[in-house]
């Protein structure tokens, strides 16, 4: 929020003195976080309430969270860092509290946070293809070229690279009476590719918004005009966040279906529930139930926030975007998908165990080894709660991202604008 507000004001159309921008940057560089409630903005007329709390702290009247996570009175924190409290002059208070910096910052935070999760989804999805002895024919580039969807084309490239050299795949090619794999395997480029297209579009919208002037009114020094408009309306951010929500939910939804497929012996041809002694052991049955619960929860979160508008300010502000909630709700969705993928990682690795001595590709064997470093194979029931959390932590921290980013001759996840 601090950085985006400084960038917006520095464009020179908000009618503020340089000291306002300098104070924002000084607070930012000191590692001070204004204490801002997460609720209270409807994403129009700017993020008024959150940005007001930010501005209070700059003035020495609110609170900061310091580098140790402690709440500190703003005046005390500013004094400790040698930053004079901001004394506002005409137009400056309005310029600081008006704008889309809260919703945009939350949306960018979610976009950056989902990147390693999406990369993990691709690696784990490929590992599941091998665990289920699926075909790589659906990833043939000729299929995807005929449709022409960029995300789909790129995701197919990723899967071909991830599965390259798999001995499990080679054994499948020598003879299998199955005509086609379930959608959750063979339609991964179509589903995850469509999600990637939405995320790429959202990234472009947020890049523009991060560099935009969104307060009101605006001052044009070229001719001295001061014009009242509506750049504070965060509809672009809200719609981008709703697209992100749908994409995030779908990445989790197809992962849940892959888990369901793996535990179903009729489809995966692996032992029921991925355990050698089903009935005596429940195997991965309850883990799938957990994944289903998380996927269902995300479906509720994915309801578009932008279609809900309540008039405010005595009907002067009669249509609002709800962008701030649209962005804020993405974090629990990402956490849910991360845990769904953690469960799939455990399940896919378990499936691979039943195919030994055959080995997967070099990259996917590294993904398997990463998991086995902290989670041994489960041939007899045991608690897996800590394994799920450990796997989720590693996904969020980018443990599988390095494997994805090391794939040779593959397009970047985020294409240049």
**43-87 residue pLDDT tens:** 988 899 999 999 999 999 999 999 899 999 999 999 999 999 999
Distance CA(347)–CA(287), nearest Å, equals: 9
Q: Is 118 helix (H, G, I), strand (E, B) or coil?
A: helix
40 in a structural domain: yes
- Decide if 295 is inside a domain: yes
Domain presence at residue 263 = yes
CATH number at residue 9: 1.10.275.10
At 374, list the tokens. 């902290």
In this structure, the answer to whether residues 73 and 178 fall within a common structural domain is no
Residue pair 107/235 in contact by the 8 Å Cβ criterion: no
> Do 70 and 175 fall within a single domain?
no
State the total domains in the chain. Answer: 2
Clarify whether residues 153 and 35 are in a common domain: no
Interatomic CA distance for residues 342 and 310, integer angstroms: 39
> Which of 380, 368, 384 is CA-nearest to residue 287?
384
Whether 326 is in a domain gets the answer yes
The pLDDT value recorded for residue 175 is: 58
Rounded to whole angstroms, how far apart are CA atoms 191 and 415? 18
Indicate whether this model's pTM tops 0.85.
yes
Q: Domain boundary at 99, 122, 139, which?
A: 99
- For residues 235 and 154, membership in a common domain is answered with yes
CA atoms 289, 402, 333, 202: torsion sign: negative
Q: Are residue 50 and residue 118 in the same domain, yes or no?
A: no
The residue among 79, 99, 119 that closes a domain is 99
Strand, coil or helix: 257: helix
Specify the CATH number for the domain of residue 345: 1.20.200.10
The secondary structure of residue 377, as a DSSP letter, is: -
Residue 281 sits at the vertex; the CA angle it makes with 276 and 284, to the nearest 5 degrees, is: 80
Query: Do 246 and 377 belong to one domain?
Result: yes
Q: Do residues 82 and 125 share a domain?
A: no
Tell me: do 81 and 109 sit in the same domain: no
* Residues 134, 246 share a domain: yes
Task: Name beta bridge partners: 63.
Answer: 73
**Residues belonging to the chain:** 417
As a whole number of angstroms, the distance between CA 95 and CA 107 comes to 21
List 281's β-bridge partners, or say none. 278
C-alpha 156/C-alpha 168 separation (Å) is 19
Domain boundary among 48, 76, 99: 99
**Residue 73, phi then psi, degrees to nearest 5:** -55, 140
The CA distance from 121 to 129, in Å, is 12
Q: Nearest Cα to 304, choosing from 236, 234, 243, 237?
A: 243
Task: Convert the pLDDT of each residue in 135-180 to its tens digit.
Answer: 999 999 999 999 999 999 999 999 999 999 999 988 866 656 677 8
Q: Quick check: is 412 in a domain?
A: no
Domain coverage including residue 48: 2-99
Indicate whether 417 belongs to any domain: no
Same domain (yes/no): 270, 399: yes
The answer to whether residue 411 sits within a structural domain is no
What is the three-class DSSP state of 409? Answer: coil
Of the chain, the end-to-end C-alpha distance in Å amounts to: 23
CB 305 within 8 A of CB 325: yes
Residue 108 included in any domain: yes
Same domain, 204 and 243: yes
Q: Which residues of the chain have pLDDT under 50?
A: 417
Q: Are 292 and 305 in contact (CB under 8 A)?
A: no
Query: From CA 144, how far away is CA 115, in angstroms rounded?
Result: 23
Helix (H) or strand (E) holding 71: strand 71-73
Rg of the chain taking only CA atoms, in angstroms: 25
Q: pLDDT tens, 262-279?
A: 999 999 999 999 999 998
3-state secondary structure (DSSP) of residue 390:
helix
Q: Does one domain contain both 91 and 114?
A: no
């Amino acid at each position: 929020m601090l950085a985006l507000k400084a960038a917006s004001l520095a464009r020179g159309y908000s009618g503020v003195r340089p000291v306002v921008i300098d104070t924002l940057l000084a607070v930012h560089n000191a590692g001070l976080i204004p204490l801002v409630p997460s609720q209270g903005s409807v994403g129009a007329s700017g993020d008024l309430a959150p940005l007001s709390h930010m501005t209070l702290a700059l003035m020495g009247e609110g609170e900061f969270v310091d580098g140790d996570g402690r709440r500190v009175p703003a005046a005390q924190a500013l004094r400790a860092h040698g930053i004079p409290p901001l004394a506002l002059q005409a137009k400056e208070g309005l310029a600081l509290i008006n704008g889309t910096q809260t919703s945009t910052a939350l949306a960018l935070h979610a976009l950056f946070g989902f990147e390693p999760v999406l990369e993990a989804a691709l690696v784990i999805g490929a590992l599941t293809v091998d665990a289920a002895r699926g075909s790589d024919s659906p990833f043939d580039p000729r299929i995807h070229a005929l449709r022409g969807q960029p995300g789909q084309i790129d995701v197919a490239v990723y899967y071909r690279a991830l599965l390259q050299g798999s001995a499990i795949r080679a054994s499948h090619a020598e003879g299998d009476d199955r005509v086609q794999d379930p959608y959750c395997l063979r339609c991964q480029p179509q589903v995850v590719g469509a999600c990637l297209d939405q995320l790429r579009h959202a990234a472009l919208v947020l890049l523009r918004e991060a560099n935009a002037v969104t307060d009101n009114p605006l001052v044009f020094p070229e001719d001295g005009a001061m014009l009242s408009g509506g750049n504070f309306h965060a509809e672009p951010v809200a719609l981008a966040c709703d697209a992100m929500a749908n994409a995030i939910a779908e990445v989790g939804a197809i992962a849940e279906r892959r888990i369901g497929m793996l535990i179903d012996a009729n489809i995966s041809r692996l032992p029921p529930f991925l355990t050698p002694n089903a009935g005596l052991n429940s195997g991965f049955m309850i883990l799938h139930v957990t994944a289903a619960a998380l996927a269902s929860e995300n479906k509720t979160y994915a309801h578009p926030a932008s279609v809900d508008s309540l008039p405010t300010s005595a009907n002067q502000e009669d249509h609002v975007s709800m962008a701030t909630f649209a962005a804020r709700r993405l974090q629990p969705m990402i956490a849910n998908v991360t845990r769904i993928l953690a469960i799939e990682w455990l399940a896919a690795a378990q499936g691979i165990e039943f195919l030994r001595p055959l080995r997967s590709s070099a990259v996917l064997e590294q993904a398997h080894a990463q998991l086995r470093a902290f989670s041994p194979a489960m041939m007899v029931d045991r608690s897996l709660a800590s394994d799920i959390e450990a796997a989720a932590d590693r996904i969020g921290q980018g443990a599988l991202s390095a494997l994805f980013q090391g794939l040779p001759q593959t397009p970047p996840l985020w294409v240049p604008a």
